[in-house]
Structure 1
């Protein structure tokens, strides 16, 4: 899933940002890595482009603009903004995302959402965690060098004017996240809901604490491993992660809030509820950690939902055979793995060896095809049994049901997309109409018809935009314009709903494809085991 991160910088050396993008840096100290001769080591693979720099170096262009408008001259001024769009590692093998394609998406995103700013756009094929996640860096000069249209995240007239500075407000960051989600939906990439929190929230500070702690632990364990001694601990965990594990362990068995509190108290953790929110106090702290800082899995609504499920399961336990105990962590991990795991190891179609040999394939292909068919037949029967089918008719009915569900979700997704596009079009018209307010107010201030005609001619472009927006409002029966913030909130809500349907549709599509492959394989296996029947059927045709 793609994520968006924002960093503002007060560093007056714009060349430092470009140096970070082009040369290797230590992931902990963020200092450049030098070779044995003391020279910088270039990154192995990257794509780099500049926008609005008029052929000049990014750093030179930014400094010229700052001097021209007398901005970013003080030490405390924010000189640049750094946005990072990180794509899911699976987007490469599963969805065909390449470094060049990611660079093009980054450039398009920058042009649409940061117009009028000098910018660097650079794409790296991998992150410092070596997970294979392609990510795009967008570095913009905080100063705006061109007049720009009023965009949805802007709330002041100065946000559009030349010589003014970019502001990354909370509303702006939410808007950028929603646009990243829209971009991933449009491009068919993996995506999660960036607008409604995270089930397991790890801050940048905690992430680096874990990385540094793991590095220190590996260094400490190295002598023991060299002496063939197994270390007691090989994985470093932050205090917050230990607290999450304690909470999940308690949630796995507790059936009421009192029982949940009692189990935590045995581990030295005190849970407190205040104004509808939960917080947790560990023995080594004097200030409790709020559920918001741990993740949405540990807020009041999620905790009480799990407790209700545990209570219902305990009530049903005597009426059914006991299941082996499984913790909530295991259940969550299995469910997420089923959704997130790529289907590369799923069931594949059997090869028609006779047809391929008739097409001219050799003995080597025949041997490979026989082994392939044996493996896929075993996987097919395994999946067939996992779903609990007892006849091919049940399998065929399941394929039809999966197809209908997929089509229904697709219809809902298209309807939601149409509604979202309508809201976005309305938003564009509202913003365009709002930008012409000064011209419309000036027209009303004119005293005579001749003065109004001259004023309208002098501001013709503004009135063309205003008249087009007014015609749109009239055609759609809009008599009162919606508030811009309320309209943006409605769009973000629709994007969140679309994200849920988008992921549901992909899950249903994967299930349909798997069942369809199993059905085709079963049909092929049955036809091979009943050659006379197949011959009779072909004769009847």
Structure 2
């Protein structure tokens, strides 16, 4: 695929552009590479031509033209523009693209879109980072040398006259992108639609940052491996890439915007904001939101809403699970999972396959708005009408919900809410017990490990002839040994436990914690939904009654 990249330069040294095109440079520092004798090295293969100038006197001719028209004399003026046409590496084999052919296409492109400008057109065969893709550099002086016929992409009359500067606009860029696509189609080259936003947008700045940090991480991991340890992570990712990965994960199964936002917050601590029809995301380590547009079109509202609709449609095609299990069955399963007694560890046990994790599917129900207490609705009749329509939709959804779930009376709904609230309390209690035990085990592992690692040093201390001098030389380590020994005497009656068994128990509890954490959030979401349903039912009935009154009257809501 041919893509277009644009750079502008305020440097008055036009000779640097020619040097870069002809000689080998370091990709990161952009400094020329030198041979053993300190001389610059020519590129292995390149093709160079000049438009409206001699390529080897490009710098002098540009300076003379600038002086003639009294342009580009200030420091902050853009002196030159650098465009890069990059072709797909597959084009060499599949489409027979060669350096000479690419150079001809580059000259055609430059003549069409930069008429009257002094330009260098150079084709390189060595792609960035060894990718091997053929690419064409086009460097133009920002001041036009010759008068030319006005073109459709030129918005101002002076854009075709000599002595005036290159003026890039949105329509100009669109015309260039369209031109690239036409050339690629004509020559049978690989090409993507450049006129639509990229599904995944990675800027040059992000690319280079990721590459620098990855190299630093690789160097650090090499030292860690050399010391006989295992690196914690081997791949670096920017904050934007973290957002892309997290959003893609949640969006793959989310069925609504509400579920999408809650799951991102719960699993990745990412806050989502939908404002003016656009999604923005807050990384947990940032204070400023990143818009979906900066991440790519796959992370914007239109694409994600379409994906949510597909996910919801796929879920509706699945067999109903809630009809198989009653509320009592759910409670029984949940009670076993939230039991304070930890089951025997079984490596083959698959926690996500537990039925309770798939029985409840969170809907997109929202609370019915009380117009009597909504100040904005009282101030604006249009907003009040909008809220009324929204309330009608939520009431209809609520009626469908209670019919589908078989809640015949308000009391049955209240009982279900009470039952889920009790299960949530048990899940929270069990989770806290597990977390406290893990914290206790970590403390035990710390002191036992501290004791065992310094046991040999203490033995040397016992055997030393001058104990006072030995203690002074190793006071911090001996104090740590004494602290570990004291802890073992107080908590294990002086018997040193097996460090391996402590770690095994901790690993078992960590797996148990993950399952219990999922159970806790399951009941938390369930409770929130039943509260929403209960509140909407009260709004439909036009009453604000307690659950005790509901049970006494047994009002039919079916």
Q: Shorter-chain TM-score category?
A: 0.5 to 0.7
Contact 2:4–2:85, Cα closer than 8 Å, also in 1: yes
Does 2:273 align with 1:296? no
Q: CA deviation at 1:227?
A: 6.3
Kindly tell me: are residues 33 and 54 of structure 1, through their superposed partners in 2, closer, same or farther at Cα, counting changes over 3 Å? closer
Contact 2:55–2:120, Cα closer than 8 Å, also in 1: no
- Matched pairs, number: 321
- Distance in 1 of aligned mates of 2:238 and 2:36: 35
1:31 alignment counterpart: 31
1:52 alignment counterpart: 52
- Distance in 2 of aligned mates of 1:284 and 1:13: 41
- Distance in 1 of aligned mates of 2:307 and 2:196: 19
Kindly tell me: are residues 303 and 56 of structure 1, through their superposed partners in 2, closer, same or farther at Cα, counting changes over 3 Å? closer
Q: CA deviation at 1:89?
A: 1.2
47-56 vs 266-275, greater mean Cα deviation: 47-56
1:158 alignment counterpart: 158
**1:196-235 alignment to 2 at 5 Å?**
196-225=196-225, 231-235=231-235
- Distance in 2 of aligned mates of 1:228 and 1:124: 43
- Distance in 2 of aligned mates of 1:233 and 1:24: 34
**C-alpha distance after superposition, 1:504-540 (max 9, x if no partner):** xxxxxxxxxxxxxxxxxxxxxxxxxxxxxxxxxxxxx
- 3-state DSSP of counterpart to 1:278: strand
Q: Normalization by structure 2: what TM-score?
A: 0.56
Does 2:10 align with 1:10? yes
Q: CA deviation at 1:56?
A: 6.0
Q: CA deviation at 1:223?
A: 3.0
RMSD of aligned alpha carbons:
1.8
Q: CA deviation at 1:230?
A: 5.0
- 3-state DSSP of counterpart to 1:129: helix
2:512 alignment counterpart: none
- Distance in 1 of aligned mates of 2:153 and 2:274: 35
- Distance in 2 of aligned mates of 1:106 and 1:210: 30
**C-alpha distance after superposition, 1:317-352 (max 9, x if no partner):** 2289xxxx9xxxxxxxxxxxxxxxxxxxxxxxxxxx
Contact 2:120–2:138, Cα closer than 8 Å, also in 1: yes
- 3-state DSSP of counterpart to 2:319: helix
- Distance in 2 of aligned mates of 1:85 and 1:228: 46
- 3-state DSSP of counterpart to 2:272: strand
1:383 alignment counterpart: none
- Distance in 2 of aligned mates of 1:218 and 1:16: 33
Contact 2:48–2:55, Cα closer than 8 Å, also in 1: no
- 3-state DSSP of counterpart to 1:253: coil
- 3-state DSSP of counterpart to 2:129: coil
- Distance in 2 of aligned mates of 1:319 and 1:48: 68
1:94 alignment counterpart: 94
**C-alpha distance after superposition, 1:447-480 (max 9, x if no partner):** xxxxxxxxxxxxxxxxxxxxxxxxxxxxxxxxxx
Q: CA deviation at 1:224?
A: 4.0
2:308 alignment counterpart: 307
- 3-state DSSP of counterpart to 1:102: helix
- Distance in 2 of aligned mates of 1:225 and 1:115: 57
Does 2:155 align with 1:144? no
Kindly tell me: are residues 246 and 55 of structure 1, through their superposed partners in 2, closer, same or farther at Cα, counting changes over 3 Å? closer
Larger radius of gyration: 2
- 3-state DSSP of counterpart to 2:83: strand
- 3-state DSSP of counterpart to 2:309: helix
Q: CA deviation at 1:310?
A: 0.6
**1:439-518 alignment to 2 at 5 Å?**
none
- 3-state DSSP of counterpart to 1:57: helix
- Distance in 2 of aligned mates of 1:21 and 1:69: 27
- Distance in 2 of aligned mates of 1:279 and 1:10: 34
Q: CA deviation at 1:40?
A: 1.5
Kindly tell me: are residues 43 and 319 of structure 1, through their superposed partners in 2, closer, same or farther at Cα, counting changes over 3 Å? farther
Kindly tell me: are residues 225 and 21 of structure 1, through their superposed partners in 2, closer, same or farther at Cα, counting changes over 3 Å? farther
**1:298-447 alignment to 2 at 5 Å?**
298-318=299-319
Q: CA deviation at 1:84?
A: 0.3
**C-alpha distance after superposition, 1:352-400 (max 9, x if no partner):** xxxxxxxxxxxxxxxxxxxxxxxxxxxxxxxxxxxxxxxxxxxxxxxxx
Contact 2:281–2:290, Cα closer than 8 Å, also in 1: yes
2:272 alignment counterpart: 271
Q: Which runs of 5+ in 2 are unaligned?
A: 322-351, 353-558
1:65 alignment counterpart: 65
- Distance in 2 of aligned mates of 1:32 and 1:54: 23
- Distance in 2 of aligned mates of 1:224 and 1:103: 47
Contact 2:117–2:145, Cα closer than 8 Å, also in 1: yes
Q: CA deviation at 1:150?
A: 0.8
**C-alpha distance after superposition, 1:131-151 (max 9, x if no partner):** 121100000111111111111
- Distance in 1 of aligned mates of 2:303 and 2:86: 28
1:256 alignment counterpart: 256
**C-alpha distance after superposition, 1:143-188 (max 9, x if no partner):** 1111111112211111011111111222211211111111111111
Q: CA deviation at 1:201?
A: 0.5
1:283 alignment counterpart: 284
Kindly tell me: are residues 65 and 278 of structure 1, through their superposed partners in 2, closer, same or farther at Cα, counting changes over 3 Å? same
- 3-state DSSP of counterpart to 2:82: strand
Does 2:253 align with 1:244? no
Kindly tell me: are residues 206 and 257 of structure 1, through their superposed partners in 2, closer, same or farther at Cα, counting changes over 3 Å? same
- Distance in 2 of aligned mates of 1:229 and 1:91: 44
Contact 2:103–2:121, Cα closer than 8 Å, also in 1: yes
Q: CA deviation at 1:229?
A: 5.6
Q: CA deviation at 1:129?
A: 2.0
Q: CA deviation at 1:202?
A: 0.5
- 3-state DSSP of counterpart to 1:174: helix
- Distance in 2 of aligned mates of 1:26 and 1:47: 20
